[in-house]
Structure formats: structure tokens, C-alpha cells
Amino acid sequence: MFNMQEFLDTPLHVVSAGLFISDGKWIHPTRVINSFELIFVMQGSFQIAEGETVYTLRQGDALFLRPGIEHRGLSPSTDKISFYWVHFDFENPPPKKTASSRAAVLNDSNMRILFKQLLHYCNTPTYPPACQNYLLRLAVVEVLLSQSQNSGKGSALIKEIQEWIRVHYDRPITLEDIEQRFGYNRDYLTRIFKRDCNMGIKKYIDTVKMSKAKALILSGNYPLKAIPPMLGIEDYNLFLKMFKYHEGITPRQYRETYVNIHTNKK
């Protein structure tokens, strides 16, 4: 994929962007485009091929597609599908390393926020194009950082704990739960977690839950009071305090921050 420094040194600009939603049987159409494209999956899973390379995309995945190469869906998906997309160009010749690449985005709530902001600015004429380009740049960097961290060696135990927390975010999680699940005492777990992640396990749990909370809030599909139980938090007032502490604003203010988006269903 892109060399990070080459990308940061190369100006780029947004061509178009939107949010795709499909509620029924759908297959990605066959296309050859003349710009780069970044896709970020919000919901569901589907297959897409670029040339001879096949990708299976799931919630939280991002994919870069190159211009001039056919991409197409492989089989109809009956899942509820939604994904953000943005077409973009480099103002100068693009970096040499521009092979398509899929990444599991580590902080998917950041990507949701960036795309929601991007679409807001794209559909609000009073903002200059530079705002869109800046947000696109941040979104691409988020993907590149995820690729870099996913490819690092890291600690196998830490990755296993992180994945367990990610899967069980919808229930109360305590240090005792993690001790029992992985068979190590909390002091050891806390020490290696801080060493590899620069934060304690409790903070990591809160970070995952707040990331999921932001994604649920931005989806607009749930009343705010319905969200805490989906995170394993039964006390709504506690949820409000946690959210305000971590984000600096209330959940309602967070939901209302960005409203203008372009949605397509084909």
C-alpha cells in the first residue's frame, strides 16, 4: 500500500463521496473508474474483486481501489449492507506503491466520525474543498496506521485479550473476568498491557465501549437510552457520565454534530 511518508508529501483532493445502503439482495456492479476509491464498511459483509484479487469485506474493514482496473462483485449478498465511499485523486503523480489493500480499521469509530464529517462538508457548500481534502487525508492515515499496527508482531496474548474484549463489549467486563478467562493474575496482565498498549486494561475496555457507543449513536438507528444495555452498561446516568468524561460532550450533542450526508442505494 502507500508508503506513509510518500502519502503525506503528496496532495490529494476529493472527487465525490457518499454513503451506500442496501436493505436486500445486492451485488457490487462491474466498473472501471478513473480515480482512486476508499471504501469503509459500516454494516454487513460482501465480496469484491479488483482484477484477479478477491476481497471479503466485513464491518470495520477498509479497502483502497485503483483507477483503470475493473472491480466487481462476485456473488449477491442478502445482508443489510452499508458502507461509506470516497473517490479521490492525487494532485501530483501518485506514490509508486499504490497496490490495492484491505485493512481492519483498529478505531472504527474514528473512521465513522471522519466520514460523517467528510460527507457533511461535501454537502455544505459554504465549506471550501480544502476541508474535504483534509478529512480524507485523516481517514487514509487512519487506514495506513491500522495496516502498520496489524502487521506488527506485538504480543500474542495482548492481541487475544483485545479480541476477546472486542467480541464481548456488549456485556459487563471486569479484570476478574479476564483473569479467569486467560489464567494470569491481574498485576501481570496490567503490566504487559501497559507495556504494549500504553494504557491499562480498564481504560482499554472503556475505550472499546465508547468506540462502539459512538458508532451506535452515529447510526441513528437507536434511541439514546437503548444504547447503554447494548454495551453492558445498565445505568443510563452512568453511561452519560462516562461519555461526557471521555468525549467532552453529551451523546445527544455528539449525534447532532453532523447532519448533511449523501446516500445512494445502487
CATH number at 245 reads 1.10.10.60
Q: How many domains does the chain have?
A: 2
What is the reported pLDDT for 44? 87
Give which of 75, 84, 33 is closest to 55, Cα–Cα.
75
**pLDDT band for position 11 (50/70/90)?**
confident
For residues 38 and 114, give the distance between their C-alpha atoms in angstroms, rounded to a whole number. Answer: 13
Same-domain pairing of 47 and 127: yes
Same-domain pairing of 161 and 146: no
What is the reported pLDDT for 83? 95
153 pLDDT above the threshold of 50: no
Using CB atoms within 10 A of its CB, is residue 166 exposed (0-12), middle (13-18) or buried (19+)? middle
* Residue 193 lies inside a defined structural domain of this protein: yes
Same-domain pairing of 200 and 145: no
Domain boundary among 152, 185, 210: 152
Helix, strand or coil for residue 50?
A: strand
Same-domain pairing of 126 and 196: no
Same-domain pairing of 97 and 12: yes
95 pLDDT above the threshold of 80: no
CATH number of the CATH domain containing 90: 2.60.120.280
Same-domain pairing of 39 and 11: yes
156 pLDDT above the threshold of 70: yes
Same-domain pairing of 193 and 166: yes
What is the reported pLDDT for 260? 55
What is the reported pLDDT for 242? 94
Same-domain pairing of 135 and 161: no
Same-domain pairing of 35 and 138: yes
Same-domain pairing of 62 and 104: yes
Domain boundary among 111, 133, 152: 152
* Residue 261 lies inside a defined structural domain of this protein: no
Give which of 85, 101, 76 is closest to 42, Cα–Cα.
85
Domain boundary among 118, 152, 186: 152
Region at 107 (left for phi over 0; alpha for psi -120 to 50; beta for the rest): beta
For residues 231 and 92, give the distance between their C-alpha atoms in angstroms, rounded to a whole number. Answer: 45
205 pLDDT above the threshold of 80: yes
* Residue 247 lies inside a defined structural domain of this protein: yes
* Residue 52 lies inside a defined structural domain of this protein: yes
34 pLDDT above the threshold of 50: yes
Q: Give me 48's grid cell.
A: 469484491
For residues 213 and 198, give the distance between their C-alpha atoms in angstroms, rounded to a whole number. Answer: 22
Same-domain pairing of 96 and 108: yes
